[in-house]
Structure 1
Amino acid sequence: MSEILGPQRLGPLTPLVGEWEGNDGIDLSYHNDDDITGQTTYFEKAKFTPIPKQENGQQKLEGLKYEMTAWRHGEEAMIPFHDEVGFLLWDKADGQVIRTVVFGRGIAIQAGATAKDRDKVLRFKADPGEPCYGILQNKYLLRRAELQGFTSTFTFNDDGTFTHESDLVLKLAATGQVMHHTDKSVLHRVKRYHPSAETA
């Protein structure tokens, strides 16, 4: 990914601004209907839009609101199987990037990463019960698929693509086992928010 010139108000989040697509996503999860753990491949769209500066007393945050939606291959014209919305925030003074995300199935996560202005890799982490970077889930999921940990990584690749990976650690009531529900997808930018070009 080419170096971004000038000041970066969004810090390491700067390269994300715009709209993205990817066709090689891989989801590893427990399939309740079949009682097996298996892979699902998917097509994904993502959108990252700058928000006004957020000020909390002396704290000043720059950030993006975002949405990511995924469709199983072969079901692109149908209802997506995954949908999330959230915010990505840059706290320059504390050297923190914050990912606040809500999944449509009743999960809310606030995950944090230590970062510098021009980092190319961001590693987010959240754990249940933590007062800052924690996890909440609805009662049904707590009984059936208790979330015990969350990590995710954003990587800005030299070819201009963006890779995101995530690992949800779940204790499954159906099997009595702990499993890692993982996702990985590589996205390329399809629209820039820039006065000189609508697409890239």
Structure 2
Amino acid sequence: MPATIQGPQKLGPLTPLVGEWEGDVGVDLSYHNKEDDTSETSYFEQAWFKPIPVQENGQQEIWGLSYGMKAWRHGEEAMDPFHDEIGFLLWDRVRQQVMRNVVFGRGIAILAGSTAGPRDTEMRFDARPGAADYGILQNPYLLERAQLMSFDSAFTIKDDQTFSYTSDLVLKLAATGVEMHHTDENTLQRVKRYHPSAAA
């Protein structure tokens, strides 16, 4: 079998994600306020990742992707998505740091990250409230009702056509006084590559 030939990968470990993706095996475990119940929900998801211009902060150079992810509960694909996020995945080659700068439509903003090498196939994005670097912010209502205690996420590149992710948000629920894990996981398949000759 011939060796795989790879380019310079200015985007580091983010390189394989460029393109559009779909996944139909998502599982969401979360607390539902109206039902006062914790249960699993299966979902279908679409995601896209597009390169952005290099970002310069003085001597720091950051390469990255803008991205978006939307998810629909099975049986509700013709309705509005129940989950919608936009953000950036960023790569600092010199410091060997990978970052996920994400905003959720519920009024939550997270900058998460960790150490990663340029050709790593697993990237971790972790954050804690109050941290000066990788931290969490949420709107006042959510802070009162479901305070975020931690965010731990990982993207794993399976092969050229497949990646999976896991996400674990630990919440302190005012309704129950206990902490719970809101988890999500899915495996997505590439449905489109981006090329200069592709139609807009």
Rounded to whole Å, the distance in 1 between the matches of 2:179 and 2:23 is 29
Alignment of 1:70-149 (within 5 A): 70-149=71-150
Q: For the residues of structure 2 that align with 1:145 and 1:4, how far apart are their CA atoms?
A: 47
- Deviation per CA, 1:1-26: give whole Å up to 9, x if none: x9461200100000000000000100
> Structure 2 counterpart of 1:153, which letter?
A
Q: Which aligned segments of 4 or more residues in structure 1 are displaced greater than 2 angstroms?
A: 194-198
Other structure's SS at 1:29 match: strand
Residue-by-residue CA offset, 1:94-148 (whole Å, 9 max, x unaligned):
0000100000000000001200010000111100000100000000000000000
Please report how far the alpha carbon of residue 88 of structure 1 lies from its aligned counterpart in structure 2 after TM superposition.
Answer: 0.5
Write the distance in 1 (CA, Å) between the matches of 2:123 and 2:34: 35
Distance 1:87 1:6 in 2: 22
Q: Deviations over 1:63-91 (max 9, x none)?
A: 00000000000000001000000000100
Distance in 2 (CA, whole Å) between partners of 1:6 and 1:91 is 18
Cα-Cα RMSD? 1.5
For 2:159, what is the secondary structure of its paired residue?
coil
The code of the aligned residue for 1:109 comes to I
What is the CA distance between 1:197 and its match in structure 2?
Answer: 7.5
Q: In structure 2, what is the equivalent of residue 23 of structure 1?
A: 24
TM normalised by structure 1 equals 0.95
When normalised by structure 2's length, the TM-score is 0.95
Supply the AA of the counterpart residue of 1:44.
E
Distance verdict in 2 for CA 1:152–1:179, change over 3 Å: same
Aligned: 1:193 with 2:173? no
Task: Provide closer, same or farther for how the CA distance between residues 197 and 113 of structure 1 changes in structure 2, counting only shifts above 3 A.
Answer: same
- Separation of aligned partners in 2, 1:24 and 1:37: 19
2:68 is matched with which residue? 67
2:95, 2:16 → 1: CA distance? 20
Aligned residue for 1:129, secondary structure, equals: coil
Separation in 1 of the partners of 2:38 and 2:172? 13
* Cα deviations by residue, 1:14-66 (Å, 9 ceiling, x for unpaired): 00000000001000000111111000100000000000000011000100000
In the alignment, the residues of structure 1 paired with residue 98 and residue 153 of structure 2 have an alpha-carbon distance, to the nearest angstrom, of: 12
Distance 1:15 1:30, change over 3 A: same
Question: In percent, how many aligned pairs have the same letter?
Answer: 68
Aligned residues: 197
Letter in 2 for 1:164: Y
Deviation at 1:196, TM superposition (A): 7.4
Rounded to whole Å, the distance in 1 between the matches of 2:4 and 2:65 is 20
Going from structure 1 to structure 2, the CA distance change for 1:196 and 1:125 (only over 3 Å counts) comes to same
Match of 2:157 in 1: 156
1:178 aligned partner: 179
Separation in 1, partners of 2:68, 2:195: 19
SS across alignment from 1:79: coil
Distance 1:89 1:191 in 2: 21
Gap runs ≥5 in structure 1: none
